[in-house]
Amino acid sequence: MGNGIIIRITRVDKTLQTPMYFFLANFSFLEICYVSTTIPKMLMNLWTQQRNISLFECATQMCFFLIFGGTECLLLAVMAYDRYVAISNPLHYPLVMKRRVCIQLVTCSWITGIPVPIGQMYQTYSLPFCGSNQINLFFCGMPQVFTLACGDTFPNEMLVYIVVVLFVTVPFLLILGSYGKIISTILKLPSATSRAKAFSTCSSHLIVVTLFFGSGFTTYFQPKSKHSSERDRFLSLFYTILVPVFNPMIHTLRNKDVMVALKKLLPQCFVTLATNFNFLCLFSFNSGVL
């Protein structure tokens, strides 16, 4: 609901139809897709107490989870570049970040995040599986699936690290480079008010980056000897549920423009709901009379 509201207000409010909020709307849509790969199945298992998943469902879940996770890393890097251009080159910002360029950057983030996870998933499920078929996690994570394989998983694990470097480390380094330039530009601003205003436009994105990449690095780059089922479950809950829940709050509560747009939109939503409710009551009453 939080991400859906962000998408709605960026489409309705004309003051939010800028490159920054265009990327934010796409990020919110990506978050909806990201959580939809794991949470519905988890809720179903909790409700029915069956706690099982077919091999095809497990492969499909893993594939989409990797696609959306990789795309999110790339899109966060694109959003950091957008903030860098807006703060470091404000006069050239409308020329550099045209709508066509924004669409191309988002499209490239989606397209780049698709083929590699599909190949990685295919290679993973080509392994021979035997013995235990229990995953100590609420969704099909790749490290957990490797523990069920009978063959040598070292090549697959090395491929995971390579993919993580490409889709996590490289975007993270690009984000660090962008924020290094941003901070140096902010420190050169003459007044404290200008510095605070410039930093406030980046603070929400910076918090989201810290939460998402921090949990990702902790999960995939810690040594095998330090892995534990309890820690893996906690981290998986953190980056698949808690971070997506916090993201809409971070982007709305720390953004004055979004808060103003919300104050305009919410009364309209209540009026629409009340009108629809009255119409349904009137329709039901008339239907009963007839």
Question: Can you give the residue ranges of every domain in the chain?
Answer: 2-124+138-270
Q: Is 283's pLDDT higher than 50?
A: no
CATH of 2-124+138-270 among 1.20.1070.10, 3.30.1510.10, 3.30.300.30, 1.10.10.10:
1.20.1070.10
pLDDT at 226: 58
Least confident among 79-83, 102-106, 155-159, 270-274: 270-274
66 close to 168: Cβ distance less than 8 angstroms: no
Which residues lie closer than 8 Å to 117 by C-beta, 6 or more apart? 63, 66, 67, 70, 163
pLDDT at 23: 93
Q: What proportion of the chain, given as a percentage, has pLDDT over 90?
A: 19
Q: Is 225's pLDDT higher than 70?
A: no
Banded pLDDT at 221 (limits 50, 70, 90) = low
CA 219 – CA 243 distance, rounded (Å): 14
Question: Could you give the angle at the alpha carbon of 37 between the alpha carbons of 146 and 234, nearest 5°?
Answer: 60
Mean pLDDT, the chain, integer: 81
Tokens of 183: 């901070």
Question: Could you give the angle at the alpha carbon of 249 between the alpha carbons of 30 and 42, nearest 5°?
Answer: 55
Question: pTM of the prediction?
Answer: 0.85
Q: Is 224's pLDDT higher than 70?
A: no
Banded pLDDT at 277 (limits 50, 70, 90) = very low
pLDDT at 269: 56
Which residues lie closer than 8 Å to 62 by C-beta, 6 or more apart? 121, 124, 140, 141, 142, 145
Tokens of 39: 């949470």
pLDDT at 222: 66
Q: What is the pLDDT of residues 52-106, one digit of tens each?
A: 888 888 888 988 988 998 899 999 999 999 999 998 888 889 889 999 999 999 9
Banded pLDDT at 254 (limits 50, 70, 90) = low
Q: Is 273's pLDDT higher than 50?
A: no
Instruction: Bin 141: left if φ > 0, else alpha if -120 < ψ < 50, else beta.
Output: beta
Our measurement of the distance from residue 53's CA atom to the centroid of its chain's CA atoms, rounded to an integer in Å, reads: 24
179 close to 80: Cβ distance less than 8 angstroms: yes
CA 5 – CA 90 distance, rounded (Å): 28
The amino acid present at 42, given as its one-letter code, is M
CA 198 – CA 72 distance, rounded (Å): 24
Which residues lie closer than 8 Å to 129 by C-beta, 6 or more apart? 148, 149, 150
Between the alpha carbon of residue 205 and those of residues 26, 147, 163, the distances in Å are 14, 35, 24
The amino acid present at 78, given as its one-letter code, is V
Q: What is the pLDDT of residues 101-126, one digit of tens each?
A: 999 999 999 998 888 888 888 888 88
Tokens of 10: 């960026």
